[in-house]
Amino acid sequence: MQANKRRTALLSGSAFIIPVRCSLISFQTTVPRAVRRDTFLHLKMKKLLAAIAATALTFSVTLSAATAQTLPPPSVAAKSWLLLDASSNQIIASQEADMRVEPASLVKLMTAYLAFAAVRDKRLDLNQQINVSVNAWKVDPSSSKMFIEPNKPVSINNLLYGLISVSGNDAAVALSEAVSGTTDAFVVLMNREAQRQGLTGTHFSNPHGLPSPDTYTTARDLAILCRNLINDFPEFYKTYYSVKKFTYNNITQPNRNRLLWLDPTVDGMKTGHTESAGYSLITSAKRPVANGERRLISVVIGTVSDQVRTQESQKLLNWGFQNFDAVKLYSKGQAVDTPDVWKGSQGKIRIGFTRDVYVTVPKGTADKIKPRVERNDPLIAPISENAKVGTLKIMIDDKVVTELPLVALESVGPAGIFGRAWDSMRLLFK
């Protein structure tokens, strides 16, 4: 019964959007302000009347809390799970998404992220050969390894394959030393990056995920990390995460993500298992839709077997693709609104998004979507490009589906001294 209470389905809002306090303005009924260009005497009289009125009137705007539009989620045999639509960044459904869990080898997602960043920033090269330390070679011999050896240099490229496709703990140590010099220094980098990404329920103590009380995470944080890895390093993701088997040192090992064989739309991501953590699996699948392709990411934590984590992950992905659509609302750079700007070098500003915007809704409800703009009025220059200027609420049947931050698509500098003075007077009567 308790599990059912904590199992939630879309649409209660995005897991990655922080709502802001805004002035409430209907997208359909935004009223342009009238500009009165009367005599100075008339302005003085109007100012007096406005001051009198202000003593009698108090305006209060209350933003209602998001109301979930529910669709019964599937029953998933796991301690914690979550299904994310990567197109819209919305959580479709989840259970115990913020429960602290042992990640096991899912830690290697962060190890890979930082190694990819080092290659991107040219601190490492894929063809670079590194010497294998004794620490890397001697990592728990009963755990998963790619079988690197101290006297045999190995390339960064092979270490990445060994880390991702066969979950080599020795590869994790070797990569951490290649990036930061020592594993301790790398762990500091891991936690710093977790903080940067907003993984508030996560802490790392090693680069491989072998049991430690100081290594923990949540399904929500893992979903954010996976989304960021795919978005930030799409070519690396494509190269390494769909590999079904890897041979090194004359030893061939399979990728433990069985869905790579069972579902042709699955192209990653990572398995995890220890005795204490159980069997976990994060899976990403991309399937064709009418307007292109759509990606879902399932996070399944703490099942009782490899078979169960596989079937529960497949269940979640199928349920998400079959019951929900990702609807494109706006293109990157498209103006959602062009409100007035006060004290600026121009009178209006284009506001919108820096990426294509999708919203995930139950199938058959796309025609009910109604966007509503809530601006941080009055918008007073100077305003820098990409500055947050409001929120777009997506409504279905008068219920909030999700909230998205609106940003300035252009910068607006300050007006001259007379223009600013004029608008200061006008603001008194607004």
What residues act catalytically? 105, 108, 167
Cα 25 to Cα 17, 228, 337, 372: the distances in Å are 19, 32, 11, 7
Tell me which residue of 254, 280, 319 sits closest to 75, measured CA to CA: 319
Cα 256 to Cα 74, 76, 144, 189, 269: the distances in Å are 24, 20, 11, 27, 10
C-alpha Rg value of the chain to the nearest Å:
26
Which contiguous run of DSSP H or E holds residue 266? strand 266-274
**CA end-to-end distance (rounded Å), the chain:** 53
CB atoms within 10 A of CB 254: 14
Cα 196 to Cα 136, 144, 193, 225, 400: the distances in Å are 28, 29, 5, 11, 28
Token output for 138? 């001697």
- Per-position b or e across 376-394, b if 16+ CB within 10 A of its CB: bbbbbbebeeebebbbbbb
**Upstream peptide bond of 371 is cis (omega within 30 degrees of 0):** no
What is 351-382 written as a DSSP string?
A: EE-SS-EEEEEETT-GGGEEEEEEE-SS-BS-
